[in-house]
Amino acid sequence: MHRRAHFEWKLRTRSLALDTATRVMGILNVTPDSFSDGGLLRSVDDAVDTALAMFADGAAIVDVGGESTRPGASGAISTQQEIDRVVPVIEGIRRALPDALLSIDTYRAATAQAAIAAGAEIVNDVSGLLWDDAMAATCADLPCGLILMHARGRPSDWKSLPRLAPDEVLPLVKRELAERLSVAIAAGIAANSIILDPGFGFGKMQDANYALLRGLPELAALGQPLLAGVSRKSFLGHTLAPLYGVANAPVSAREHATLAASTIAILMGASLVRVHQVRPAVEAALIADAAIAADAALAGDATLSAGQ
């Protein structure tokens, strides 16, 4: 088990303590084509109600996204379309729950700026500041909390990318996340505002994701807290496939696998997990956190005994 160091995550107007309690981030996709829940939320009111239910179930953060980044998504939307989707939802959530802690899932600087102005505290950039040259300066100027995710290419590239061997994925992700972290800090973004996400499934195929999962302690050596987003990902469906007699288990059949992978991520050092179903993840996190605490207590006892 990997014990997490205390970290005060500096956000737009407040800080969030990351230490012994895992934080759960709920996924709120206000998109027609996200891979597992696109089109389910048909109005701003539906989206607001769903977010409020996530908070009631124990989410620390709700992550609002207005464009799908799944492979084969219907195509890039305009910045204005993305803003029009997410800003009314953020404003509605904050009206209903003024203290709600929200993040905006976007790689566009203009969307990030509009979302933060509407009440979001965090920018969750799946490109790690790579897909919009203005994003780094925008996040520095706001300022806000920032999640830097590793993506290997763009969604349109993923099917044609050469597969990574299991022993290649961790060095690649660690090196490129370190580069993205350096770029962010050089742009004026405070280190205590930054969380790192290895980007499960984002250009990493099938078993390479398990190598990444077990390698989380090495990524923690970069000095920033880690977020793990494994919810309903294709690599889980691939592993479950023999149970269903298909090449990839359906998305609807991946919830238990999501809990298993999220729990492993916590035991390996993730401070936050990003999920579609909040309540089961909150319960799993409580159990994982209790196991980590017991491990720490036993290690403390052993150290004390050795010193006597």
How many whole angstroms from its chain centre is CA 210?
A: 17
- The catalytically annotated residue of 23, 108, 204, 274 is 274
Q: Give catalytic status of residue 233 as yes or no.
A: yes
Active-site residue, selected from the candidate residues 42, 233, 254, 279: 233
Select from 190, 180, 195 the least CA-distant residue to 63: 195
Q: Directed axis angle between helix 109-118 and helix 79-96, to 10°?
A: 20
Structure tokens at 8: 């005060």
Label residue 8 left, alpha or beta by phi (over 0 means left) and psi (-120 to 50 means alpha). beta
**How far is CA 108 from each of CA 39, 77, 218, rounded to the nearest angstrom?**
22, 11, 29
Helix (H/G/I), strand (E/B), else coil: 83: helix
Q: How far apart are CA 161 and CA 116, in angstroms?
A: 34
- Contact residues for 250 (Cβ-Cβ < 8 A; gap 6+): 237, 244
Does the annotation count 274 as an active-site position? yes
Which of these, 169, 170, 297, 157, lies nearest to 222 by C-alpha position?
170
How is residue 228 annotated by DSSP? E
* SS3 assignment for 146-190: EEEECCCCCHHHHHHCCCCCHHHHHHHHHHHHHHHHHHHHHCCCC
Active site residues: 233, 274
